[in-house]
Structure 1
Amino acid sequence: MTVKYTPEHEWLQAGDQGTATVGITAHAQDALGDVVFVDLPEVGRSYAKGEVAGVVESVKAAADVYMPIAGEVTAVNEDLRADPSVANKDPMKAGWFFKIRIADQAEFDALMDEAAYAQFVKDNT
């Protein structure tokens, strides 16, 4: 499965039939510290690229979670809502935030691949 990254330190993993799973990267989790609360988007709601879709709070700070590409939220990670520490333990798998139906595949394709994201992090830290 293809994984893409955003400058806001979110990851998207392509799923079946034009869907993607969205979460925060390990770099974002490291910067935030221990996640203690997440506010997840509403299932069924469509968001524009860059629109605030949720909030993640840690012992250090609170940060908005942006919709990385336009799409409709099809599911949220209720396990994460019940136990936000899952984002600390496994941000790239079990700590996913929400799933979307991709509105524009070109937006997904234009995001950074793993090598480009690694370079972005190196250049901006």
Structure 2
Amino acid sequence: PNPNVDPIGACVGDRSERINSIIAELNGEKIDIIEYSEDLATFVARSLSPAPVENVQIISEGRTLAVVPDDKLSLAIGKSGQNVRLAARLAHTKIDVKSHSAYEHDYLAEQTKTQVNEAELTNLDDMFSDAE
């Protein structure tokens, strides 16, 4: 990519002429232009715009998690899930969207579970080392 070229500006055109002619051809259909990125997390975040994305995690092949501010969750998901559905089609991945507070709650619950499991393993180790 040429760093001297603004790809979105080039698509929109001077005084929005290019994009307006396309919108007119599509009978007023709303069009969002986002810049492509080979980095999946970056592309997922861009595809959910205008919702600000705090964090994107690649969960597995074909599945991502996007974390958005609590007050922007409905914007990221869209009416009847349309925004996240279109973003998922663009990025070729399933996108789970969580609010910041829901993500924090789930993360803390997982951390607590891990700490409990580690404590139980330590107790088992202690029990077996005492038996020797």
**Structure with the largest fraction of strand:** 1
Q: Which has the higher contact order (CA 8 A, sep 6+)?
A: 1
TM-score normalised by L of structure 2: 0.22
TM-score normalised by L of structure 1: 0.23
